[in-house]
Amino acid sequence: MISLLINGWKRPENIIKILDTEKNYNIINEIIVFNNNPEVYFDYKDHKKIKIINVNKDMGLRTRWVNATLATNECLVYQDDDVIIEEEGFETFWKFFNSDPERIYCASGRVPDADGAYNYISATGPVEVVITSSACVPRSLIPYVLSCEFDFYSQKEIKNKTNDFHEDIFLSYCAMSVFGQRNLQIPIKVKRLPDEHAIHRRPTHRSERTDMVRRCRRFFTPMRTVINRLEKYLQNLPQRQNYEKS
């Protein structure tokens, strides 16, 4: 089964539309909504699948990791509050996840330029950068993400990171470092919702993402000492243990 993880900020009306539709999908047995807008208390009619987190401060995009740690399934689907994923899309995520659970799958991805410059060209097939507005991620990847964060950033940086974090890029390179293969863009049907307040509209968005790509490419290399820990980490992945038993 799938745990659906939704990050919300300034578009509560979109989240209601998403929940009204996606709570009915049989393949989803858990929905966790993280409302990052302290000015609006978000609530939804009682439903056994849905859990809601409200905060008194904007915690930024690192809340994706919080959602993941609260999930109970290995198969996670990250979704932003500006899309509705069709039921067929979740079934496609589930099919690809079960065929190879050591990979991130996404509806939209990017391949930055050779020099690391970020571009907005929609790439198909194997990609470097996963756009986490609709992405399927193995839950067992998250401990590695958290471990790498503290090597990647100084304590001061971590404390100050909010919406300039570009966690999707960081997650993407973490996954490629662990799994030894590129992430994969696959055909997923989504319906776009109003995206006022979208982060990608900021004038510094592309330069920030270029900086993050270049920094990640330097950090996640075969020479990094963290790679020496990977074999032990991979052996502990639930899917690896299941393969060995079978």
Residue-level pLDDT at 223: 40
Residue-level pLDDT at 87: 96
Residue among 127, 125, 134 nearest 111 (CA): 127
1-14 pLDDT, tens digit each: 999 999 887 788 89
Q: Which among 82-96, 135-149, 222-236 has the top mean pLDDT?
A: 82-96
Strand, helix or coil for residue 142: helix
Does the predicted model carry a pTM greater than 0.95? no
Could you give the percent of the chain with pLDDT greater than 90?
53
Handedness of CA 62, 68, 69, 74 (dihedral sign): negative
Instruction: Determine contact, residues 172/129, Cβ cutoff 8 Å.
Output: yes
- pLDDT level of residue 237 (50, 70, 90 thresholds): low
What does pLDDT average to over the chain? Answer: 85
- pLDDT level of residue 34 (50, 70, 90 thresholds): very high
Q: What is the mean pLDDT of residues 146-154?
A: 81
Residue-level pLDDT at 236: 65
Paired with 53 in beta bridges are 34
Whether the predicted pLDDT of 29 surpasses 90:
yes
Strand, helix or coil for residue 69: helix
Strands, E, within the chain: which ranges?
Answer: 2-8, 28-35, 50-54, 75-80, 83-85, 105-106, 109-110, 125-127, 129-130, 134-138, 183-185, 190-192
Residue-level pLDDT at 180: 87
Whether the predicted pLDDT of 27 surpasses 70:
yes
Residue-level pLDDT at 163: 46
Handedness of CA 54, 59, 65, 69 (dihedral sign): negative
Q: Which of 31-35, 70-74, 133-137, 150-154 has the lowest mean pLDDT?
A: 150-154
- pLDDT level of residue 229 (50, 70, 90 thresholds): low
Residue-level pLDDT at 112: 93
Residue-level pLDDT at 225: 43
**How many residues make up the chain in this entry?**
246
Instruction: Determine contact, residues 23/31, Cβ cutoff 8 Å.
Output: yes
